[in-house]
Amino acid sequence: MTAGYPSSKTCSSCGAIKAELSLQDRVFKCDSCGVVLARDHNAAINIKRVGASTLSEMV
């Protein structure tokens, strides 16, 4: 994962990327699948998924 990875803007449910999401937006609402999560929770799920994938590739 790089510093530019859009963990907050990527839907942790369907993978759609939300183009417009400001720092003031504290709730992530996916326009594609309708999932609603706290922005930080959504980002944490994405970061966990990338980390787990990276670890499995190393093994």
Pick from 14, 13, 37, 11: nearest CA to 26:
37
What is the domain count for the chain? Answer: 1
Whether residue 40 is contained in a domain is answered as yes
Residue 42 has pLDDT above 80, yes or no: yes
Whether residue 23 is contained in a domain is answered as yes
Whether residue 57 is contained in a domain is answered as yes
Whether residue 43 is contained in a domain is answered as yes
Residue 1: what pLDDT?
A: 61
Range of the domain at 43: 10-59
Whether residue 1 is contained in a domain is answered as no
Q: Read off the amino acid at residue 23.
A: L
Task: Give CA–CA dist 51/42, Å, rounded.
Answer: 14
* Average pLDDT rounded to a whole number, residues 26-43: 98
Whether residue 19 is contained in a domain is answered as yes
Residue 25: what pLDDT?
A: 97
Single pTM value for the model? 0.83
Q: Are 36 and 28 in contact (CB under 8 A)?
A: yes
